[in-house]
Amino acid sequence: MGQRKYIGELEEVIMLTIGILEDGAYGLAIKKEIDKQLSRKVSMGAMHTGLYRLEKKGYLTSRLGEATSIRGGKPKRYFTVTMHGQQVLKETMDDRKKLWQSIPEGVFQVDIAS
């Protein structure tokens, strides 16, 4: 298609979090991880909408996993980032890097190096 795919900020966060969680990336775990890593409360709705859209775009895949009694016997849905999703993540990162590098010296007072 050749066209660049853009992803939203929350979507980027979700995909990265799934990466962090390795094999344990299911809905609640992802939400908690975001909470833990970024101290950021994501609503179930926002997160699952994001997951749904990403999966629809082909950046994620999911499979139903084990059911525990604590979940009332309902299975977990585990997410993994597809190759395609990883490429998009990398592209996004590269874009940012490029932009940062293009900012002239002295414009931003913040110390970038740290």
User: Is 40 a residue that touches another protein (CB under 8 A)?
Assistant: no
Q: List % helix, strand, coil for the chain (3-state, nearest 5).
A: 55, 15, 30
Q: Round to whole Å and give the CA distance between 58 and 66.
A: 23
User: Is 75 a residue that touches another protein (CB under 8 A)?
Assistant: yes
Q: State in angstroms the smallest separation of the CB of 81 from another protein.
A: 18
70, 75, 80, 108: which is closest to 22 by C-alpha?
80
User: Is 112 a residue that touches another protein (CB under 8 A)?
Assistant: no
User: Is 70 a residue that touches another protein (CB under 8 A)?
Assistant: yes
User: Is 74 a residue that touches another protein (CB under 8 A)?
Assistant: yes
